[in-house]
Amino acid sequence: MATDVTVPTLGESITEATLGQWLKKPGDPVKADEPIASLETDKVAVEVPSPVAGTMGEPVVAEGDTVQVGALIARIEAGSGAASAQPQAAAKAPEVAATPVNPQGAGENIELRDAAEASQDSSLTLSPAVRRLVLEHGLDPSRIKGTGKDGRLTKDDVLAAAQNAPSAPAKAGAQTSAQDWVPASAGTQERKEERVRMTRLRQTIAKRLKEAQNTAALLTTFNDLDMSAVMEARAKYKDLFEKKHQIRLGFMGFFVKAAALAARDVPSVNAYIEGDEIVYHDYLDVSVAVSAPNGLVVPVIRNADKMSFAEIEKTIADFGRRAKDGTLSMDDMKGGTFTISNGGVFGSLLSTPIINPPQSAVLGMHRIEERPVVRNGEIVVRPMMYLALSYDHRLVDGREAVTFLVRMKEALEDPTRLLIDL
């Protein structure tokens, strides 16, 4: 007897998703409530649990297919799955044996096939993107430590393993033998292209960013910030802070508190346009851009203006972990009145970030770099950071944007202002 597995309710106003990855193969044993598939929605990845214990049946839809809420995607058969897995493997064996080998890519085919077999032997469940990287670099996934949820491999894990892997003479020899098949008239190595379907999340990101460009009157203003005081305060109190709150003291807490202070003086930065009205907020919900395996996600720190440094840092750390594991929920993404994006962690010196509609402003943080500056008539070296504020000029005037950045600069260069609300 088989039990149907259908697409669960995905959240308000969301009616469809993309089947991003099967987490179980046909014949695999499945426990009740164990995830068997991952769905990609416009905002987050949602895992589909098995309603009963049994054996994974043949999927009804393929990875990359669009499915509606309530649609049938798989069936769970009764039984442990050990017996059914062997006949399926035997049935697939002739297909592998009958696969033709292209002599022009003989070396490459052997290498990719070895990597694929290693992947199967390791009993690992790999996403299409991770599987492609494993094949490209000729790695054994069973020897790579996964940092994703339940120990799954992520793209970062594979890239790190590829970077640390020693060069293999055998691989070079395989490439040479493959190149021997290329006619001398070709002159250069074969050039390849690959077409990969955009994930639903990436499609949504592209759509929203283009919508922001088409709708808002975007403008960016800049200022530089001396990080000496913040760095000194952090170095002085980070050990005590971590001991008391069990969380590291980072820079983001300072910037969120400074943004809340500046937004009180310039409320239009924390507002948005709705029709022919301006909606002002007496609270600050900060959207924080977080890098996830499938793209950029923007969870929201709610009532950030009323939070302590420890509460802000704990919330951000929790978002980072759940973004990496793919367990952020729809509610984590909803709302947001202002966005902070930290490109500095990737080494960015300067940027013009794009607002997150319907918000009217986004703050861009950048890398800290020692630069010569003039202080009291003398040239000194200071740890400097460029701040960028992109805003909707329909709502925020240039004077207000500059004032907002100046207020942030004043608060961060003299963190005492954050304590006495100046």
The catalytic site residues sit at: 393, 397
Q: What is the bridge-based pairing of β-strands 54-56 and 29-30?
A: antiparallel
φ, ψ of residue 116 in degrees (nearest 5): -65, -40
Mention every residue, 6+ apart, whose C-beta is less than 8 A from residue 268: 278, 280, 360, 395, 396, 397, 400
The region, left, alpha or beta by phi > 0 then psi within -120 to 50, assigned to residue 226 is: beta
Cis ω before 29 (30° cut-off from 0): no
Q: What is the bridge-based pairing of β-strands 361-365 and 338-342?
A: parallel
Helix 228-245 to helix 252-265 angle, to the nearest 10 degrees?
110
Inter-residue contact 270 to 338 (CB < 8 Å) = yes
Closest CA to 280 of 173, 395, 376: 395
Question: Tokens 């961060």 label which residue?
Answer: 412
Question: Residue 102 and residue 109: Cα distance in Å, rounded?
Answer: 8
Alpha-carbon distances of 266 from 271, 307, 355, rounded to whole Å = 10, 20, 17
Question: Residue 1 and residue 39: Cα distance in Å, rounded?
Answer: 26
